Amino acid sequence: MAEVSVKNVTKKFGNFTALDDVSMEFPDGGFFALLGPSGSGKSTLLRTIAGFLFADSGSIHIGNKSVDLIPVEKREIGMMFQNYALFPNMTIADNVGFGLRVRKVSSDEERRRIGEALELVQLSTLGDRKPHQLSGGQRQRVALARAIVTNPRVLLLDEPLSALDKSLRVDMQVELKRIQHEIGITTIFVTHDQEEALTLSDKIGILREGRMIQSGPPRSVYNNPVDRFTAEFLGDANIVAENDGNGRLNVSGNPSIKIPEGAETASALAVRPESLSISATEPEQEGLSKVHGRLVQRMFAGAMSTCIVQCGSHTYKMVARDQDVPNLSEGENIWLSWKSAQTIVIP
Amino acid sequence: MSMTLANQQRIKIFSLLSPAYLWLTVAIFLPLSAMFYFSFLSDVPFGQKEWFYSTENYQAFFQTTTYAKLLWKSINLGLMVTGCAVLVGFPCAYVLAKSIQGRSREALFLLVILPFWSNSLVRIFSWAIVLRGNGVLEIALNTILPFEVDVNLMFSTPAIVIGLVHSYLPYVILTSYLALQAIDDNLIDAARSMGANKLTILWRIILPLSLPGLLAGAVLIFVPVVGSFMEPRILGGRVGTYFGTVIEDQFVAVFNWPLGAALSFILLAVVLIILAVASPILRRAQT
Amino acid sequence: MSGVLLTRLGKLWLLSILFFLYAPILVMAFMSFNASQYYQLPFEFSLKWYEKLALNTEILDAATRSIAIAIVTTVVATVLGTAASVALFRFEFRGKRFLQVMLFPPIAIPWLITGTAMLIFFFGIGLGRGTPSVIIGHVALAIPYVIVVVSARLATFDATLEEAARSLGANAWTVTRRVTFPWIVPGIIAGALFAFAVSFDQFVISYFLSEPGDSTLPVLIYTSIRKGFTPEINAISTIIISVSMVVMLIAARFSNFGGER
């Protein structure tokens, strides 16, 4: 196991800058997510850490040693691919044992470690099958077993769960977290699914157009986004006030939105949909920010309900447990309110 | 009376398929059967000739070693040409499939395949111009090399091999290329991430996965080469006597058609054995 | 780095193979413009072999015959082959697999065997040698190619397009005419060009089936080569190979042969 550190890495493909001065620390044993829209450079970063690509400038350290001149096959990493990339000509056991055989491990030990790895992913009985005889979820487990069987220093996962359907994906998230915890391997995974990133990781790095916009623990990134892009990309955000261009926040003539102390010169204020409450009459409590508007749409989604509310030129989205939404019909005038402490200040 | 839907469909299927398959039956399958019948006759049953059923044509093959030796010579030629074509063509297909991208790949692929669809006779003829003594190859080599060389490959086994490799090389490139192109690049990346070097990847991933394509190409080369007669005739001259040329002779020079038919069938048997041996591996590729 | 070196070597290898494939053909073409009858260098440009060719009625007759046979073969094989591939694509029925496998022998069995078998059979039924026999043989060889090429195109057809058209109210005939057929046209054109090439370049079958003095161009070239080289053969060979390469280039454009779709 080892820590990974990426320092000022830049990578260009022709005129296109895929990574622009990217830095991030991945402490030993943690579970990290690289999150971003497609084309943000997250996969390029992962492939550069893996050693498939070499940075134009900057450097990458694994376990305090520079790996800048070490090609992928010597980097002692484990990698899992989006389509799993299981060798179709080999059995499951041979797939898992491939890295061991390359390392010329004795056949007794090879058998033992294949057994252990398959047991870890709960597929002990399927060693003799071929990949095409397995379900998507099983293949995913094999790919994981294959990636960790050589005791790599780092585990890299490229969109590991995106090929699975939703319910299986949630099961696999739990499984992945359990296995990572059990072996304590430094794990970096790439995803475009923000919920997955929040659920799994100890630390998130958000990329956009090749730049690392923000990195930190999920809760802190979620609650303190550094810019509007991050606020809107990681979860939903209602922008309630924007800077008017003269260095002052414009609350759209709505004095009942309270500007937090010291935030007068921020670029915007936002509030998460789940922070909002809805009521037919104006709420009276102290310390609330509130806006008046018209309920445009109410959508029932089982546990939660989503309301779309039009307040002047702003459209708000609100999410709450269905039982917490009073009996209102579409078209009614309503109030949205939130505790001022939940106002997100975007610097 | 109204027809059932199933009947209507049967008529449609029949009217669409029968012309093509009737044609194939008349022009391919009936002739092959007729030839089988002929191979058991003592003489052609045309005109006033006397004939009777006999196995003497097949006996002729087994009684003297001449035909068996020629068949072996043809099989040997087939192995040699196939071996050369695979050794030359597979790396070429690999480069095409894995190291060249985009439009230039398509263009290069087309360039490699194109000669295959031009007249094979003419291409063999063009080698005759290049390889003959005092020919282009000799002149070219003497211009480059500081010493005089005497290159007269014409009418030799190497000439036949060169000509046949030239004729059939695109087959193995085509089939290997298609097989190699189908290999997911992620598999190679995955093997590298597990620490495999290039040789291991070639040996354990790329070769096994492209083997069906490679083998298909090899079969497609071996089969026609064993039955070749035009190429040995033009490029081999006196050394160019093979099983195929003997069969040709029976039909156009000696006019011993029943013997020719028997020899053709022996050749067909060899071909079928080759196909039977190769087919399990080829079929495995489809799963 | 060794990777770069290997890639370079690979590309060099590819180029050498292209050289191997094209050099003799180019030499032949080059020599057809050389004045010397015995391919002597230095090169002296001359069109005299083409002029001689233009006066050689034997070769011209054979060329005309070859083209006529190729055209007939193309039309017949394309129609029959397309009909068969539509049936094989559209319907499920017993024996379908068998019919598909039956396309293999005409392609895979050496032409020497097929050709001599045809010779025996056509004599047996009293048809004998001659242009009709040659055409029957060529069509039989071309049909499997047409079926394979058209089927490959059909396989890329999205069946939901037909369903969409029917849901919009089109009847079966309109669907075939307006949706299915336009889609497979490139396949049919490619199949037709393949059929033309198979027939025009066919030597072995023609060799056994054509009558002496009534032969196709490749057969005439073969007999001339065996008698001794003449530069006229060079000239006509150059023309033939240019024609078939152009035909195949066009076919490749229509069939997306080998390229990613």
Structural Rg of chain B based on CA atoms = 24
Residue B45 is assigned to a structural domain of this protein: no
Say if residue B286's pLDDT is above 60. no
To 10 degrees, what angle do helices C57-90 and C231-255 make?
A: 20
Count of domains for chain B: 1
- Among B222, B243, B223, B217, which Cα is nearest to B232's? B243
C contact chains, 3+ CB pairs < 8 A: B
| Contact between residue C42 and residue B139 where contact means Cβ atoms under 8 Å apart | no
User: What domains, with CATH codes, occur in chain C?
Assistant: 49-255 (1.10.3720.10)
Q: What is the pLDDT of residue C261?
A: 35
CA B205 distance to own-chain centroid: 27
Same domain, A118 and A246: no
B contact chains, 3+ CB pairs < 8 A: A, C
Structural Rg of chain A based on CA atoms = 24
In the numeric block, which tokens belong to residue B269? 């048997």
Task: Find the closest chain B residue to A85 by CA distance.
Answer: B187
- Among B134, B140, B133, B139, which Cα is nearest to B159's? B133
Residue B18 is assigned to a structural domain of this protein: no
End-of-domain residue from the set A173, A195, A228:
A228
Residue B234 is assigned to a structural domain of this protein: yes
Decide if A102 touches B, using CB distance below 8 A: yes
Q: Is A1 helix (H, G, I), strand (E, B) or coil?
A: coil
CB contact under 8 A, A73 and B192: yes
Decide if A315 touches B, using CB distance below 8 A: no
The CA distance from B103 to B123, in Å, is 28
Same domain, A200 and A305: no
Q: Is the peptide bond before C42 cis (omega within 30 degrees of 0)?
A: yes
Decide if A74 touches B, using CB distance below 8 A: yes
Task: Find the closest chain B residue to A133 by CA distance.
Answer: B287
| Contact between residue C34 and residue C43 where contact means Cβ atoms under 8 Å apart | yes
| Interface with B, mutate which of A75, A96, A98 (most B CBs under 10 A) | A98
Alpha carbon distances (Å) from B110 to B103, B218, C78, C111: 11, 20, 23, 25
CB contact under 8 A, C87 and B17: yes
Here the CATH number for the domain that contains residue A337 is 2.40.50.100
Count of domains for chain A: 2
CB contact under 8 A, C258 and B174: yes
Residue B10 is assigned to a structural domain of this protein: no
Within 13 Å and on the Cβ side, how many CA atoms surround B51? Answer: 19
Q: What is the pLDDT of residue B166?
A: 94
| Contact between residue A300 and residue A323 where contact means Cβ atoms under 8 Å apart | no
Task: Provide mean pLDDT across the span B21-38.
Answer: 92
| Contact between residue B178 and residue B213 where contact means Cβ atoms under 8 Å apart | yes
The CA distance from C120 to C118, in Å, is 5
The CA distance from B166 to B215, in Å, is 18
Neighbouring residues of C96: CB distance < 8 A, sequence distance ≥ 6: C88
CB contact under 8 A, B190 and A87: yes
Say if residue B132's pLDDT is above 80. no
Q: What is the pLDDT of residue C146?
A: 93
Paired strand residues for A25: A5
Q: What is the pLDDT of residue B17?
A: 92
Residue B47 is assigned to a structural domain of this protein: no
Q: H/E/C letters for each residue in chain C?
A: CHHHHHHHHHHHHHHHHHHHHHHHHHHHHHHCCECCCCCCCCCCECCHHHHHHHHCHHHHHHHHHHHHHHHHHHHHHHHHHHHHHHHHHHCCCCCHHHHHHCCHHHHHCCHHHHHHHHHHHHHHCCCCCCHHHHHHHHHHHHHHHHHHHHHHHHHCCCHHHHHHHHHCCCCHHHHHHHHHHHHHHHHHHHHHHHHHHHHHHCCHHHHHHCCCCCCCHHHHHHHHHHHCCCHHHHHHHHHHHHHHHHHHHHHHHHHCCCCCC
Q: How confident is the model at residue B2 (pLDDT cuts 50, 70, 90)?
A: low
Neighbouring residues of C157: CB distance < 8 A, sequence distance ≥ 6: C89, C180, C183, C184
Decide if B130 touches C, using CB distance below 8 A: yes
Say if residue B59's pLDDT is above 90. no
- Please state, rounded to an integer, the average pLDDT across all residues of chain B: 87
* Percentage of chain A lying above the pLDDT 70 cut: 99
Higher pLDDT, A61 or B137: A61
Decide if B68 touches C, using CB distance below 8 A: no
Same domain, A11 and A66: yes
Task: Find the closest chain A residue to B198 by CA distance.
Answer: A73
Residue at token pair 């001359």? C46
Decide if B123 touches C, using CB distance below 8 A: yes
- What single DSSP character describes residue B147? S
The minimal CB distance from A78 to the residues B187, B193, B204 is found for: B193
- What single DSSP character describes residue A34? E
Lowest mean pLDDT segment, chosen from A63-67, B140-144, C11-15: B140-144
Q: Each residue of B150-199: pLDDT tens digit?
A: 777 778 899 999 999 999 998 899 889 989 988 999 999 999 999 999 89
Q: What is the pLDDT of residue C1?
A: 45
Decide if B233 touches C, using CB distance below 8 A: yes
Residue at token pair 């998460």? A272
CB contact under 8 A, B28 and C208: no
CB contact under 8 A, A52 and B204: no
B6 Rama class: left (phi>0) / alpha (psi -120 to 50) / beta: alpha
Decide if B145 touches C, using CB distance below 8 A: no
Task: Find the closest chain B residue to C4 by CA distance.
Answer: B99
Alpha carbon distances (Å) from C247 to B274, C191, C195, C217, C243: 33, 11, 11, 17, 6
CB contact under 8 A, A81 and B208: no
**What residues in B contact C137, CB-CB < 8 Å?**
27
Residues in chain C: 261
Here the CATH number for the domain that contains residue B226 is 1.10.3720.10
Same domain, A187 and A295: no
Distance from CA of A178 to the nearest CA of B (A): 23
**What residues in A contact B187, CB-CB < 8 Å?**
85, 87
Neighbouring residues of B103: CB distance < 8 A, sequence distance ≥ 6: none
| Interface with C, mutate which of B126, B169, B271 (most C CBs under 10 A) | B126
Q: Is the dihedral of CA C101, C106, C110, C114 positive or negative?
A: positive
Say if residue B287's pLDDT is above 60. no
Decide if B129 touches C, using CB distance below 8 A: yes
Same domain, A125 and A19: yes
Residue B13 is assigned to a structural domain of this protein: no
Structural Rg of chain C based on CA atoms = 23
Decide if B273 touches C, using CB distance below 8 A: no
Alpha helices in A8-68 (DSSP H): 42-50
Same domain, A80 and A207: yes
Q: What is the pLDDT of residue B3?
A: 65
The CA distance from A210 to A20, in Å, is 5
The minimal CB distance from A102 to the residues B186, B194, B208 is found for: B194
Same domain, A127 and A197: yes
Distance from CA of B63 to the nearest CA of A (A): 47
Q: How confident is the model at residue B285 (pLDDT cuts 50, 70, 90)?
A: low
What pTM was estimated for this model as a whole?
Answer: 0.83
**What residues in B contact A73, CB-CB < 8 Å?**
192-197
Decide if B106 touches C, using CB distance below 8 A: yes
Residue B97 is assigned to a structural domain of this protein: yes
The CA distance from C217 to C68, in Å, is 11
The CA distance from B187 to C180, in Å, is 37
Q: Each residue of B190-233: pLDDT tens digit?
A: 999 999 998 999 999 999 999 988 998 898 899 899 999 999 99
What range defines the domain where residue B129 resides?
59-284
- Among C239, C212, C227, C233, which Cα is nearest to C67's? C239
Q: What is the pLDDT of residue A253?
A: 62
Say if residue A160's pLDDT is above 90. no
Amino acid at A138: Q
What range defines the domain where residue A315 resides?
236-346
CB contact under 8 A, B195 and A103: yes
In the numeric block, which tokens belong to residue B4? 């059932």
Q: Each residue of A167-221: pLDDT tens digit?
A: 888 888 888 999 999 999 999 999 988 888 998 999 999 999 999 999 999 999 9
Residue B42 is assigned to a structural domain of this protein: no
CB contact under 8 A, B194 and A87: no
The minimal CB distance from B130 to the residues C24, C113, C200 is found for: C24
Tell me the backbone φ, ψ of residue A334, rounded to 5 degrees. Answer: -140, 175
Decide if B40 touches C, using CB distance below 8 A: no
Neighbouring residues of B168: CB distance < 8 A, sequence distance ≥ 6: B81, B85, B220, B221, B224, B225
The CA distance from A143 to A175, in Å, is 13
CB contact under 8 A, C225 and B114: no
Here the CATH number for the domain that contains residue A135 is 3.40.50.300
Q: What is the pLDDT of residue A114?
A: 95
- How many interchain CB pairs under 8 A, B with C? 255
Distance from CA of C168 to the nearest CA of B (A): 23
The minimal CB distance from A85 to the residues B190, B195, B200 is found for: B190
A contact chains, 3+ CB pairs < 8 A: B
CB contact under 8 A, B114 and C249: yes
Q: How many beta carbons lie within 10 A of that of residue A166, not counting itself?
A: 8
Same domain, A208 and A330: no
Distance from CA of A31 to the nearest CA of B (A): 19
The CA distance from B93 to B177, in Å, is 5
Same domain, A187 and A64: yes
Task: Find the closest chain A residue to B194 by CA distance.
Answer: A99
pLDDT in single tens digits along all 261 residues of chain C: 457 788 889 899 999 999 999 999 998 888 888 887 766 666 778 888 888 888 888 889 999 999 999 999 999 999 999 999 988 988 888 888 899 888 888 888 899 999 999 999 998 888 889 999 999 999 999 999 999 889 888 888 887 888 888 888 788 788 888 888 888 888 898 889 889 988 988 999 999 999 887 889 999 989 888 887 677 888 888 888 888 788 778 877 776 544 333
Calculate the dihedral angle through the C-alpha atoms of A76, A78, A82, A83, rounding to the nearest 10 degrees: 100
Decide if A62 touches B, using CB distance below 8 A: no
**What residues in C contact B252, CB-CB < 8 Å?**
207-208
Decide if A1 touches B, using CB distance below 8 A: no
CB contact under 8 A, C201 and B117: yes
A263 Rama class: left (phi>0) / alpha (psi -120 to 50) / beta: alpha
Q: How confident is the model at residue A266 (pLDDT cuts 50, 70, 90)?
A: confident
CB contact under 8 A, A85 and B192: no
Same domain, A160 and A267: no
The CA distance from C39 to A292, in Å, is 97
The minimal CB distance from B197 to the residues A73, A76, A88 is found for: A73
